[in-house]
Amino acid sequence: MFKPHLLAVVSRCNSFFGCVDICCNWGNSAPRTLKGLKSVTSEQVFEREQKYGAHNYHHCSAYRAKGVSLDMEGKRYFDFLSAYSAVNQGHCHPKIVNTMVEQAQRLTLTSRAFYTDVLGEYEEFLTKLFNYDKVLPMNTGVEGGETACKIARCWAYMKKKVPENQAKIIFAENNFWGRTLSAISASTDPMSYDELRPYMPGFEIVKYNDTAALEKAFQDPNVCAYMVEPIQGEAGVVALDAGYLTEVRELCTKYNVLFIADEVQTGLARTGRMLAVDHEDVKPDLLILGKALSGGLYPVSAVLRDDHIMDCIQPGLHTAMDVMDPRMRILAASRYYVRVARERCENAQIQATYLRKELNTLPKDVVPVVRGKGLLNAIVINKKFDAWDVCLNLCKPTHGDIIRFATTGHHRGTDPRMCQYYQKYH
């Protein structure tokens, strides 16, 4: 059995967060090297992108991927980011790829002026699966958040009778749901919103995991919605206290406020349940899905809600052109992925138990905290240790195995493909 490399990122932060894939094991038997790799080195890739592209990320290179990825030199590595949970099933899943190619060769693009044989089938599947009346498909996760905010404002004026231009939406401190002007207007991270004023009005912040602060905010009759991540990924994999979501559901019902669950990263078996809110058996008024919804092969998101909220959306108020791209046959392919995800919830729990058990064997003076739920986990590194030196040590080629982490503050995250089976590598 091969011994994979784990690709590394060098960071000046003091923390890791991330995920592991849960769904299938089809790509793990690929040979160590593949024929046909481009005659270009990782260094050349870095230099070209640095010269011609906006410098908004620190990258590692990848040329070909199948379950487990390859860089330009043909090294194997485990992708412990999984595109922030978008490729939970692994890279280039053959059934999803084949479905995408099949439809791409049949029809290029239509608008909502036409029906296709795909959209209604997909909508029926998704609404029945998650027990909602209606779904509005979008392209990206941040569009899902934007759409939920638009629906909430429409509902505020049409149903709750909030005075014109006075609707307010509450967000949790340290939230992250994208980089649009609306999303950064809800952010508490200066790196996201500095130099981008003026901000969107009508957004307010409460402390995460604090129901007393939330109820105080709900005293304002103009508050129409509360949007929250069941686990804050970008903030460092910060999970809510047990019972918090149950209290949120009760407070939203009591004060006639819409409960919006942002499950773009946590949804579809990532935490060991189909939805993270399922751990408390609560049903949000609006549910936002994305990332893994399409198996990571095409941008797909969705906002689900019931008829009493849905009927606020009238023709002409909201649409998304690319949602009607017949390549959205990928929507049908995503049905396959979602079914697999349902089957792999148990595997996510099993692998998560093993992962956290092993992480907890790390020296406690260096890694005092391991946290997470399912296969969305983080380790906290003691501030007295310089993470720059830690990352350099991880990157030394003599170490053999290299890990690619996402970084936030003093946390490092693991977001591995959910198809990973630890037994295969021991």
Stated pTM of the model = 0.84
The predicted structure's pLDDT at residue 154: 96
- In the chain, what are the helix, strand and coil shares in percent, each to the nearest 5? 35, 15, 45
Whole-number Å distance between alpha carbons of 391 and 89: 27
Does domain 96-337 bear CATH number 3.40.640.10? yes
Per domain, the residue ranges of the chain are 34-80, 96-337
Beta strands 15-20; 376-380: pairing state: antiparallel
Of 291, 373, 405, 415, which is the active-site residue?
291
**Distances in Å between the alpha carbon of 287 and those of 22, 297, 410?**
22, 21, 30
Residue with the two structure tokens 């649409």: 319
The predicted structure's pLDDT at residue 84: 85
Mean pLDDT of 215-239: 97
151-207, pLDDT tens digit by residue?
999 999 999 999 999 999 999 999 999 999 999 999 999 989 999 999 999 999 999
Residue with the two structure tokens 């209606």: 134
DSSP states of 267-313: TTTTTSSSSGGGGGT---SEEEE-GGGGTTSS--EEEEE-HHHHTT-
401 is catalytic: no
The predicted structure's pLDDT at residue 188: 97
35 is catalytic: no
For residue 373, the cross-strand partners are 376
Mean pLDDT of 20-36: 44
**pLDDT of 15 higher than 50:** no
**Whats the size of the chain, residue-wise?**
426
User: Which stretches of 73-186 are DSSP H helices?
Assistant: 82-85, 94-104, 119-130, 141-155, 181-185
Whole-number Å distance between alpha carbons of 206 and 215: 10
Mean pLDDT of 402-422: 54
Per the model's pLDDT, the better-predicted residue between 49 and 221 turns out to be: 221
51 is catalytic: no
The predicted structure's pLDDT at residue 412: 55
**pLDDT of 5 higher than 50:** no
Cβ proximity of 169 and 145 under 8 Å = no
Q: What value does the mean pLDDT of the chain take? A: 79
Q: How confident is the model at residue 61 (pLDDT cuts 50, 70, 90)?
A: low
The predicted structure's pLDDT at residue 96: 77
Of 176, 218, 259, 405, which is the active-site residue?
176
Whole-number Å distance between alpha carbons of 387 and 13: 6
103-155, pLDDT tens digit by residue?
778 877 777 777 777 778 888 888 999 999 999 988 899 999 999 999 999 99
Q: How many C-beta atoms lie closer than 10 Å to residue 46's C-beta? A: 15
Which of these ranges, 51-60, 87-96, 184-193, 389-398, has the smallest mean pLDDT? 389-398
349-362, pLDDT tens digit by residue?
888 999 999 999 99
Mean pLDDT of 21-34: 43
Of 21, 79, 262, 415, which is the active-site residue?
262
**pLDDT of 303 higher than 60:** yes
